[in-house]
Amino acid sequence: MTKPAIHFATNEATNRPHSWPNLSGGHEPARRRAVVVGGSLAGLMSALALSRVGLQVTVLERSDRKSRTGAALEVSEGLLERLTGRHTKAVANILPTGAQAWADVHAGLRSVAQADPNICIRSPVRVACADQDERGAWAVAENGEVVTGDIVVGADGHASVVRQHVAPESPDAKFAGYLIWLGLVDEHLIRSRPWPSNLAILYERDYCLNAYYLPGPGGTVAAGKRRIGWGWYDARQTDLLRASGCLVGNVVQRTLRPDKIPRSTFEDLAAEARDIWPDPWREAILHCIERREVIGTPVAEYMPKRLIRGRVCLVGDAAHVPSPMTGRGFAASALDALALAEALERNLPGHGVADALCRYETKRLEAARDLVLSGQSFSRSFAPR
Ligand SMILES: Cc1cc2nc3c(=O)[nH]c(=O)nc-3n(C[C@H](O)[C@H](O)[C@H](O)COP(=O)(O)OP(=O)(O)OC[C@H]3O[C@@H](n4cnc5c(N)ncnc54)[C@H](O)[C@@H]3O)c2cc1C
């Protein structure tokens, strides 16, 4: 089946579409269309939930790269079933409940979204801005292409361009004063005895370590066949982040990749790890350092004052950026997607999509603010400013 996606040029002076398409053919009400900017976890979950309630969704994603080495996400029971409305064993197997590797969750969501005839994922498309008028909303790609819909959903992460339209008075997430070193290694490569529980949260010197077991290939959780993930919170790297361009002013630009991490930093981390962290986490960390399979993600935070403006809304990290220490960013993104779809599903005849987006904001704003606040209390104690 050909997936419909409406793309047409703008009037350069106003950045508005030249004309609006009439999909209804004049007989039936046109199917509502959503443009989702960002095809990562929040974007894919929103696309699935919106498709379930009958919208035709175009997802615009700037990159094909997957990473977040080591980050673990807690998948709640029946999540994919609630997003898609399909309650089959096959669906449950795609996204098993419990702690999962970021890349596995992304791959599962993406495979389901790609198979959905109501969802068109376009990549690479980098969106430059979003806008709206009384008839619709649109995203403008950097190449000038315009993609229109009844609503635009900003799912474009902590450095969201859609947020610039929704909250122009406070568009940027701010650096929280620390980064997380992240690594992932197959458990069979580690000789030390396993840790007695699945998760360890350890504090030493000025550091915090979150280390955990993740399912191995095929979803196995048998000891020896799992993967070990770790996230090492470190508030001493601000100079390196600035020198590498990952941090400009107090705005996070990007993750520090292994080729940009100086040898001396790797050596310092290895020396610290040998001194302070217990096995098997120490061995796992040293393994990743030796192979230069470590990234450093500067932590950003964003406290939202609003989630919507007219026909444009925000979900996931575009909407709210809590410290990863909360361990709740993914769950919050899932709740955003479900609440957004529910608000649109319940739209009464004669009420515009803007009313539905107001209901979405009412449902999610306070909870999102509470989540960011809880992360800030960790950040303030971990990296006092
Ligand atoms: C280091 C780290 C560890 C974490 N650990 C946890 C954890 O343990 N538990 C938990 O629940 N949460 C955790 N989180 C948070 C969680 O990963 C996110 O909250 C969740 O994945 C939602 O992310 P997102 O999809 O909103 O944003 P992102 O994952 O940032 O995705 C945004 C997407 O938008 C795309 N994009 C950006 N700009 C544009 C543009 N202009 N045009 C087109 N596409 C664009 C990007 O390429 C990307 O694919 C962690 C986050 C980080 C950074």
Domains along the chain with CATH numbers:
7-172+302-382 (3.50.50.60), 174-300 (3.30.9.60)
Return the best residue to mutate from 61, 127, 198 for the ligand 1 pocket (most ligand atoms within 8 A of CB).
61
Task: For residue 202, report the distance from its CA to the centre of ligand 1, in Å.
Answer: 25
CB-based contact 14:22 (threshold 8 Å): no
Q: Compute the average pLDDT of residues 234-257.
A: 97
Residue positions counted in the chain = 385
Tell me what pLDDT residue 217 has: 81
The token duo for 18 is 């030249």
Q: Is the pLDDT at 19 greater than 80, yes or no?
A: no
Task: For residue 215, report the distance from its CA to the centre of ligand 1, in Å.
Answer: 21
Cα end-to-end span (Å), the chain = 55
What contacts 137, CB < 8 A, 6 or more positions away?
35, 130, 131, 148, 149, 150, 151, 152, 310, 311, 312
The token duo for 60 is 């615009």
Q: Sign of the CA dihedral 286, 287, 291, 292? A: negative
Tell me what pLDDT residue 5 has: 40
Tell me what pLDDT residue 312 has: 98
Q: Is the pLDDT at 25 greater than 80, yes or no?
A: no
Among 7-16, 57-66, 134-143, whose mean pLDDT is lowest?
A: 7-16
Specify the residue for token string 């030796």.
290
Ligand 1: which residue has its CA nearest to atom 19?
329
Task: For residue 200, report the distance from its CA to the centre of ligand 1, in Å.
Answer: 23
Q: How far apart are CA 328 and CA 370, in angstroms?
A: 11
- Stated pTM of the model: 0.92
Ramachandran sector of residue 212 (left: φ over 0; alpha: ψ -120 to 50; beta: rest)? beta
pLDDT digits (tens, 9 = 90+) for 252-267: 999 999 999 999 999 9
Among 32-46, 65-79, 91-105, 344-358, whose mean pLDDT is lowest?
A: 65-79
Task: With cut-offs at 50, 70 and 90, classify the pLDDT of residue 302.
Answer: very high
Among 21-30, 125-134, 279-288, 333-342, whose mean pLDDT is lowest?
A: 21-30
Tell me what pLDDT residue 346 has: 79
CB-based contact 337:45 (threshold 8 Å): yes
Report the Cα 267 to chain-centroid distance in Å: 31
Q: Compute the average pLDDT of residues 124-149.
A: 97
Q: Compute the average pLDDT of residues 162-185.
A: 97
Number of Cβ within 10 Å of residue 11's Cβ equals: 11
Q: How far apart are CA 64 and CA 4, in angstroms?
A: 21
Q: Is the pLDDT at 21 greater than 60, yes or no?
A: no
Pocket around ligand 1: residues whose beta carbon is below 6 Å from it?
A: 37-43, 60-63, 71-73, 126-127, 155-158, 161, 180, 182, 297, 316-318, 324, 327-331, 333
Q: From start to end of 115-204, where are the E strands? A: 119-122, 127-132, 137-141, 146-149, 151-154, 174-186, 199-204
Tell me what pLDDT residue 31 has: 81
Tell me what pLDDT residue 8 has: 42
Q: Compute the average pLDDT of residues 156-185.
A: 97
Report CA-CA distances (Å) from 3 to 55, 118, 182, 253: 13, 7, 38, 34
Any idea of the CA torsion for 124, 128, 132, 137, to the nearest 10 degrees? 0
Tell me what pLDDT residue 338 has: 98
- Ligand 1 atom nearest to 319, measured from its CA: 26
Among 61-70, 86-95, 209-218, 220-229, whose mean pLDDT is lowest?
A: 61-70
Tell me what pLDDT residue 11 has: 45
Tell me what pLDDT residue 298 has: 97
Task: With cut-offs at 50, 70 and 90, classify the pLDDT of residue 78.
Answer: very high
Residues paired with 240 in a beta bridge: none
Task: For residue 74, report the distance from its CA to the centre of ligand 1, in Å.
Answer: 14
Task: With cut-offs at 50, 70 and 90, classify the pLDDT of residue 12.
Answer: very low
AA identity, residue 247: L
DSSP at 123 = -
Specify the residue for token string 């739209």.
347
Any idea of the CA torsion for 377, 378, 384, 385, to the nearest 10 degrees? -60
Q: What is the DSSP string of 318-357?
A: HH-B--GGGS-HHHHHHHHHHHHHHHHHTPPTT--HHHHH
Task: For residue 1, report the distance from its CA to the centre of ligand 1, in Å.
Answer: 30
Q: How many helices (H) and strands (E) does the chain have?
A: 11, 21
Is 303 buried (19+), middle (13-18) or exposed (0-12) by CB count in 10 A?
A: middle
In 3D space, the residue among 222, 341, 233 whose CA is nearest the CA of residue 277 turns out to be 233
23/50: higher pLDDT: 50
The token duo for 172 is 């940027």
